[in-house]
Structure formats: structure tokens, C-alpha cells
Structure 1
Amino acid sequence: MTSNFQLPRPLKRAQQLASGRTVRVAILGQGAVGKTAITVRFITKRFIGEYDPTLETIYRHVSLVDGECVHFEVLDTAGQEEDAMLIEEKIKWAEGFVIVYSVTDRCSFDEVLRLRFLISHIYSSLKRPHSDAPPPVLIVANKKDLQYDRMVTTEEGDGIARALKCPFFEISARDSYEETVAVFNLLYREMVTSGALPSFRRKASSKLMDKIPRIPSTSTVGLSARSFNRSSMKDFLTD
């Protein structure tokens, strides 16, 4: 899928950060598909290839989408097998979802259907006064740069996305910052047009979500804790 998108302009004035809508996004998928790489690429413009796969973090980042200041809270899930209660709380917390698989891993592709079902099933049981619309979900195939290791074709990814009625992107977090920005920009647009966003800022859904570390995009400490890469600390800073 190709999509028009705009890169976020630098937010140079502190007062610009005070206004704008806050949106909650959960990145779901099996381990090692590049969920953290996509998130960090979006926030810092940098590609970092190695992370601790057992940690979960909520990253905070401010971006301009279609001229609107948007405060993203991005839940980077660990992608490990977990009990139903834990995944349910994370899905309830989020207002939009990105399901990621790797084109080099067919098992991660097969997981897309299960995760999409969980989102639909859990949200259908919620009483949401602001909207009856299902939450927006994007399906993202990562690691398209690894063509020689590819196990899932673009046509297969596009096919399952069409069947699930979800927008589809095939990207390389390694090669393209612009592609990761396009994912988050489109998800926000889908959240706005679908009516999935509440008119008020709701509180965290549970004590479980409060325990997950929250890291602003200006922080280098949290990002370094997530990574086992040998790059220096300056690699985590935005330009």
C-alpha cells in the first residue's frame, strides 16, 4: 500500500508541547520482528538493531500530523507469550494498534490473525461512551530489506490485510525513517476519521499499565536501557 504522508516538522517552541491531542498506540507482534526498532526509528530517526526482547516500555513523543500537534504514547510490547489477562489490559489501554510481522518469519505472519481477533474480541466487550467504532489497526510487514531471507511475499501480506480490512504497509525500519513515520501518521488519521478517540483524556486502565516505564523522546537513559547495541549515547539523540 502506498500512502501520502507528511514528515513531522521540528517542534522548537516549548509552548507548542502544551497543546494537542494525546493518543495511545500499542505495537503488537511476535518477538524479534522489529517492534522496538520501528518505535525508536519513529521517535529518534535512528536505527538501532539490537534490543532486550523481554522489556516493555511506553514511549512518549510529540509530532505534527497534518498540521496538528499530536502527543503519541506508544506501548512497545515484549512480544512474548503471556496470559490472557496481561494482553487484555494492554489492548484495553490502547486506542489504535500496529500489528507487526517480519517478512523473514512465517510464524510471525501467522500470528497476525490471532492478534487481530484478540483486539476485535476484547474491544467488542467494552462499553465505550464516545464511540462504537472498532479501533483502527494497521498491519506492518517489516524487514523488507532482507530480500534473500524473505519467507512471506508482499502479496500474502496485502491479502491478509484486505481480508481483515486493515491498511497495510511493507517497510524497512533499517532503511527508511520516512516509512515508519508514514505508519504512525496514517494510524492517527484512521483514529480521527473512525471516531475512535475520546473527547476527554481517560486515565490509565489498570495498575498494570502504570508499572510499565514511560520514556519521553528527549530521554537517552531509557533508550540505552532498552538496547544492547554498542553505539555511543549520542546515537540515541534526535537531530
Structure 2
Amino acid sequence: MTVTEPARSPRRRRVPRNTLNPDRILDAAVALLDRDGPEAFTMRALANELGVGTMAVYSHFRNKDEINDAVNERLLSEIELPAPAGSTPREQITELCRSVYRLFSEHPAALPLLTSRPMRVDEAIAVIDRQLGLLLAAGLSPADAARAQTAIMHYTVGAALWAVRRRQAESGECEGHGVREKFRERLSDLPPDRYPSLRGLVPELLAAQDTGIAQFEHGLNGLLSGLLPP
């Protein structure tokens, strides 16, 4: 009679004793969120990412909400506020929006994390305050500055998340592998008598899709031209 040994679960790689600290935990949290998204982010998943027991994480953070707040603070600290001297309000707005775009395109989990928690991160408040101040300095009224700031942030964050989605599709991480080729084929198959503009601009549309942050700045420039006084 042959006795089959029970399958062993993979051994967790342990970190050396006394090396776990809040910075390492946040590094792992950001990596986990970027890779798997907020839905998969649990204390157990984070402990597995670190190679420790769950209680080891609790020794540094009381709960997941506390980690989420710390991750928010770390990510938002990557946004660089432009220096007030040496450039116009419009140039500073562009620089600030560029930094926000980079954050959300590089860390797509930052937005659901930020919107799921009360706004108490100083960095987020500082970004909004600086944008409003620059819009006022550019000559907008308080009401117009508030509306413009909202429109600019909607465009910036939306463009960043669109870039993330497209990148995921093109890399095959989600349904839509080969999305660029499918997009080209779909446009090329459209009847030219019904969709003459789309059929006539297939190369230009594909080129615009490939320019990344340059396309974002093109749209931002047009938006600011319409919002700011000449």
C-alpha cells in the first residue's frame, strides 16, 4: 500500500527578524495595490506580500483604514507643487496637472483609495488650494475659479485613468488583448459613406492614441485656453 503525503502549501518567505517597519509595509502596500487593485487589498494579502504573519502588520498599523490613509499620504506627496516664481499662473497650472496625471496614471489605485476616505490628507488639500489660487491669479472670479478647478481635475484624472485602461488592454492584463489592432480594423471596416470622418482619419486617430502625456497636454492646453482669460 502506497501512502501519499499530503501536499504542502508553499512556504512563505520570511523577512529577517526586526526588519519590518512602517516604510516597508507601505512599500509593499503600494506594490500590492498597483498590481492587484484595491479589491484584492486585505491585511492578509499584505502580510503575504511581506512574508510575515498578519499580526506583525498590526504591530505597526491598527487596521486597514490606517494603512490606506498612510498610502494616500505617500502617493499624494509625489505631486510636486510648482515654484511660484519665474512662471505664469497658466504654466504653473499645467505643471501641477502634469504631476497629478503622472500620479494617477502610474498608481491607478490611488483614486479609489482617495475617494473612499475622508479628505484629510494635507497634500490633497494643498493641490486643490494651489489650483484655486492660480486660477484666481489668472483673473477668474471665485465662482469661475471653482468651476474651472473642477473641470480641470475631472479632465486630468479621467485622462490618466483612460491611459491606464488602454495600457492594461494592450498588455493583455484585461479583456481586449491587441486593442490597438482591433481598433484599427474596426475603424477601417466602417462604411465610408456613413462615417466619412472616422474612415478618413484612421492614421491620425491611432497616432493620437500613442502620444501618451503629449496628448493629455494637448487637451489640457485647449481646456485652459477656453477657461482662462486671454
Q: With structure 2 as the length reference, what TM-score do the two structures score?
A: 0.29
Say which structure, 1 or 2, has more relative contact order (CA 8 Å, 6+ apart).
1
Structure number with higher helix proportion: 2
Q: With structure 1 as the length reference, what TM-score do the two structures score?
A: 0.28
